[in-house]
Structure 1
Amino acid sequence: MSQRPAAVPNEPLTVTERRVLALAVLASFVAFLDGSVVNVALPAISADVGGGLALQQWVIDAYLITLGSLILVAGSVSDVFGRMRVVRVGLFGFALTSVAIGLAPTAELLVIMRGLQGVAGALLVPSSLALITSTFRSEKQGRAIGLWTALTSVAMLIGPLVGGVFVDAGWWRGIFYLNVIPVAIALVISFRIGQKDVRLANVTVDYLGAVLCVIGLGGVVFALIEAPRLGSDSPLIIWPAVVGVLALIGFLARQATARHPLMPLSLFRVRNFGWGNIATTFIYAALSLNGLVVVVYLQQVAGLSATASGFTMIPLTIIMILLSPRVGRLAGRWGPRPFMTVGPILAGIGMLLMLSITPDFNYWTQLLPGILVFGVGLAITVSPLTTAILGSIEPARSGIASAVNNAISRIAGLLAIALIGVIMGGAISLDGLQRTLLVCAGLLVLGGVVSWIGIRRTAVVAVPDH
């Protein structure tokens, strides 16, 4: 019996593999760039169009609601119509909505356009990651995911810096036009890849499930964000919350009975996929909460400019760029469990070190040590987490598997941000910052513990729809 040849360590990538990786990086890059830019610009946006903390939450959550709910549809759509085609549509849509946000004259229109931008963003990340998982296998896949993590981390670097420059120059709207550049480059690359698009036969999209998911998330998040302003006993809070919860229950029931569900519950019977997504929920809730609160605190309380607050996160991104490819290769060789255990716990320790922040703010002694430890922990976590989850599912289902994982990470961040008012007490302050850091540290440690309990060496499993 012939045996499959062993993977060659550090085997060079082919031309097609390099182009696929470049496209995947750029398609995800625009989504990550947008997130890092927007956090820096939130104080300037609310100062210009009004709305205070509630508007700042909605600028983030309008995007995350449509992204988190429709990302599941995107996973099915990419499997049905082809990942390359879906990536191209997402790129065009993201560019158009980015320009529309930059031109929006009112807070209401800006929030609406952010929601539409989330629709386009939903087409990008799962489809681009599915391109990687369907193109690369074994050690190459771990290396490719590590490179994807490192290179997309560049968005975290240039987003706050360039965004800070635009904001301090009095032109926050310009930050949204930045997305057009990587989109144009990605589109050119997509047409130069000779690889045939992968499509699954006899598969349809569960549109009813999508509607239930959007209504469910929208109702619950609206209630969480507006409750401090309208009062938790207001009918305008109670009814959206009730409808939202019922819709989410209906969504889960639909996924258990639909012929081609958006979120096949059978995927969660695969050990690494199920446990990995539980870890994802804790880890990404912490990352989203911390990423918003710290940047806004530095500007509104510590008194840093938008550019200076962007500079504070440079060490984090440099660490991600340097370590992620190496960690990705090691996780592909040794398995993801030790990295997914140690990484989140170390990142949580970094959060606790940030508790030394005082009203007399000093970046070098109070924030930088925590950022360095947090950065190392994050770099150890992200690539192995992605490898464990997506590497456990066969390539034919990589689109929906990637979509489910991305939806869970975005929804975790969405709900965490919606709870900012409850955690912080309704205003950005030192006490609120410290409460948030404690919550984030606890969530990260839980992510590490869950990984230790549940994750094993990656094994690909064929999964039925039910």
Structure 2
Amino acid sequence: MSQFEPDAPPRATARYEAEPAPPNAGWILAATMLASSLAFIDGSVTNVALPSIGRDLDGGTAGLQWIVNAYLLPLSALLLVGGAAGDHFGRRRVLVIGTALFAVASLLCAIAPSLPLLLAARALQGVGAALLMPNSLGILGSAFKGESRGRAVGTWASAGAVASAVGPPLGGWLVGAAGWRAIFLINVPVALAAIAIAWRYVEESAEGEQPLDVPGAILATLALGVLTWSLTLWSSHHGASPQVWAGLGMGLVLLCVFVWVEHRRDGNAMMPLAMFASRPFVGLTLLTFLLYGALGGLLVLLPYLLIVGGNYTPLQAGLALLPFSLVIGAASRLMGRTTERIGPRLPLTIGPIVTGLGFLLLVRVDPAASYWTSVLPGMLVIAVGMAGAVAPLTTAVLSSVDGRHTGTASGFNSAIARTGGLIATALAGAVIAQSGVALTGAFRSAAVLAATLAGASGCIAFFTMAADRTGNADGAT
């Protein structure tokens, strides 16, 4: 999965009146950054441990896919519900509950004696992350005002980038030094610190009594679960059995029922269909799904290829991904300023196309060759391209819908990004099931597919967004 999802709101383009920072501003930031770092790190650290977990728990191809997707599935399906629950019951309360749930689930992951129990614990982690992620940002939005809010969100986003960058090498080191179970145990002290600080220093905040969309959440989870199961079965068995076709059909039916229910719930829906009256919003949703699907597949498959095909240690595989995180973290701030001047259309067109060129460079990957000439060039080009897309994406999403739907649109776009990674991981079994020369060949085919998806997402941005410097798009409702 991608650890650079479009969660953070855009940098402000208008001058704010000076607003004092709230009391205990530093502690509020610490609580939200510690809580969100759990999801950021876990989203990147597990990939380098997949071969070790597979050997220890006798996990086959489908089992390895589900180690990632058991976490992504509830996270994708419940992100919007997590944000709505914070608005309804109180953001601090839901943040604490989500963080505690994540800590308990992490302990269960660390002691899981079998793959099914590990997958159940990973799903529980995903539920906890879906509760804590939107509310860590929601707390900042309610506690800080004016310029101090922009600084707080910028600090929060920077901490997320650092956590994501640290995740793969930290996970690789822990797997090599103490075993894969240690990557889950490190979550516990971080979660306890976040809970203690939030309980002591964060004031409760809520927005009203809008009912939660429980039917929508259940249908979204069932639909994504059935589709993911079907695609995982398809890719791991290299063919479409009657079970696969039945699952795909049932998943599509559940998606249709979900859309019907959301239409009936109108303003109380977790996904208000009125947002889709905006052509740019539809285009940005497709862009996000394709681009982050391509990226999510890479972040699962490349470490696996290097460890299994190139005899990299988990630490070396984690370090191989580090330049990607560092380039995005360093360049995203510059792209945020550039987007303010020229608007998001060109960055969202050029960035994904450059990302696609990076995927094409990975067609040259030979896990037995030098990392510096085989892997690094493609990784750097992908990072540069993604840096051009990460910062402008949320700006474009929020400006493509009216003010009533900005929060929901941002959360929905983040959920779509994770769903793209979910589907990509479900299809990755066709690569993971291979070995030797066939593994490298399958990875190269996946790189070509990822390049195609990334290039298509850039074209979608060009044809669905207006060339407006402020980022407001034609067709916004």
Which TM-score bucket, shorter chain as reference?
Answer: 0.7 to 0.9
Counterpart position of 1:450: 460
1:184 maps onto 2:192 in alignment: yes
User: Which amino acid in the other structure matches residue 65 of structure 1?
Assistant: L
Contact 2:91 2:138 in 1 (8 A): yes
User: Which amino acid in the other structure matches residue 353 of structure 2?
Assistant: I
Deviation at 1:307, TM superposition (A): 0.5
Counterpart position of 1:85: 93
Counterpart position of 2:4: none
Deviation at 1:146, TM superposition (A): 5.3
Counterpart position of 2:63: 55
Cα separation, 2, equivalents of 1:272 and 1:328: 19
Counterpart position of 2:440: 430
User: Which amino acid in the other structure matches residue 212 of structure 2?
Assistant: V
Counterpart position of 2:7: none
User: Which amino acid in the other structure matches residue 261 of structure 1?
Assistant: A
CA gap of 1:338–1:187, structure 2 versus 1, over 3 A, is farther
- Counterpart among 295, 303, 317 of residue 295 in structure 1: 303
The correspondence of residues 183-222 of structure 1 with structure 2, limited to 5 A, is: 183-191=191-199, 197-201=205-209, 203-222=210-229
Deviation at 1:308, TM superposition (A): 0.6
How many residue pairs were aligned?
456
Counterpart position of 1:165: 173
Contact 1:286 1:413 in 2 (8 A): yes
1:408 maps onto 2:411 in alignment: no
- Counterpart among 26, 34, 37 of residue 29 in structure 1: 37
Cα separation, 2, equivalents of 1:105 and 1:52: 16
Deviation at 1:254, TM superposition (A): 0.7
Contact 2:223 2:252 in 1 (8 A): yes
The correspondence of residues 297-336 of structure 1 with structure 2, limited to 5 A, is: 297-336=305-344
SS at match of 2:310: coil
1:364 maps onto 2:369 in alignment: no
User: Which amino acid in the other structure matches residue 232 of structure 2?
Assistant: I
Contact 1:289 1:416 in 2 (8 A): yes
- Counterpart among 114, 117, 125 of residue 117 in structure 1: 125
The correspondence of residues 265-284 of structure 1 with structure 2, limited to 5 A, is: 265-284=273-292
CA gap of 1:361–1:399, structure 2 versus 1, over 3 A, is same
CA gap of 1:9–1:380, structure 2 versus 1, over 3 A, is farther
Deviation at 1:302, TM superposition (A): 1.1
Counterpart position of 1:252: 259
Deviation at 1:100, TM superposition (A): 0.9
Alpha-carbon displacement from aligned partner over 1:30-68 (angstroms, at most 9, x marks no partner): 112002110000000000001222111010111111111
Contact 1:130 1:398 in 2 (8 A): no
Once the two structures are overlaid, the 10-residue window that deviates more, 181-190 or 76-85, is: 181-190
Counterpart position of 1:340: 348
Once the two structures are overlaid, the 10-residue window that deviates more, 329-338 or 368-377, is: 329-338
Contact 1:146 1:325 in 2 (8 A): no
Contact 1:69 1:214 in 2 (8 A): yes
User: Which amino acid in the other structure matches residue 220 of structure 1?
Assistant: L
Deviation at 1:235, TM superposition (A): 4.8
Deviation at 1:136, TM superposition (A): 7.3
SS at match of 1:218: helix
Deviation at 1:192, TM superposition (A): 5.8
Contact 1:67 1:122 in 2 (8 A): yes
Alpha-carbon displacement from aligned partner over 1:70-109 (angstroms, at most 9, x marks no partner): 2232232223223333222211111111111111110110
Deviation at 1:459, TM superposition (A): 4.8
The share of aligned pairs that are identical, in percent, is: 35
Cα separation, 2, equivalents of 1:291 and 1:10: 42
CA gap of 1:331–1:142, structure 2 versus 1, over 3 A, is farther
CA gap of 1:86–1:255, structure 2 versus 1, over 3 A, is same
User: Which amino acid in the other structure matches residue 227 of structure 1?
Assistant: W
Contact 2:70 2:119 in 1 (8 A): yes
Counterpart position of 2:5: none
Counterpart position of 2:230: 223
Once the two structures are overlaid, the 10-residue window that deviates more, 74-83 or 276-285, is: 74-83
The correspondence of residues 120-139 of structure 1 with structure 2, limited to 5 A, is: 120-131=128-139
SS at match of 1:205: coil
Counterpart position of 1:242: 249
Cα separation, 1, equivalents of 2:44 and 2:82: 23
CA gap of 1:215–1:241, structure 2 versus 1, over 3 A, is same
Alpha-carbon displacement from aligned partner over 1:150-196 (angstroms, at most 9, x marks no partner): 33122222211111112112511010112224323433443465665
CA gap of 1:111–1:185, structure 2 versus 1, over 3 A, is same
Cα separation, 2, equivalents of 1:63 and 1:44: 18
Contact 1:283 1:443 in 2 (8 A): yes
Q: Which runs of 5+ in 2 are unaligned?
A: 1-12
User: Which amino acid in the other structure matches residue 211 of structure 1?
Assistant: I
Alpha-carbon displacement from aligned partner over 1:304-334 (angstroms, at most 9, x marks no partner): 1101111112211221222222322333454
1:386 maps onto 2:400 in alignment: no
TM-score calculated relative to the size of structure 1: 0.88
Cα separation, 1, equivalents of 2:111 and 2:329: 33
User: Which amino acid in the other structure matches residue 61 of structure 1?
Assistant: N
- Counterpart among 342, 357, 360 of residue 349 in structure 1: 357
Cα separation, 2, equivalents of 1:365 and 1:329: 32
Once the two structures are overlaid, the 10-residue window that deviates more, 238-247 or 387-396, is: 387-396
Cα separation, 2, equivalents of 1:310 and 1:146: 26
TM-score calculated relative to the size of structure 2: 0.86
Alpha-carbon displacement from aligned partner over 1:218-247 (angstroms, at most 9, x marks no partner): 111111112355685645434333322211
Cα separation, 1, equivalents of 2:473 and 2:283: 15
Q: Which runs of 5+ in 1 are unaligned?
A: 1-5
Cα separation, 1, equivalents of 2:366 and 2:20: 49
Cα separation, 2, equivalents of 1:90 and 1:293: 29
Cα separation, 1, equivalents of 2:247 and 2:211: 30
Cα separation, 1, equivalents of 2:155 and 2:341: 15
User: Which amino acid in the other structure matches residue 234 of structure 2?
Assistant: A
1:38 maps onto 2:46 in alignment: yes
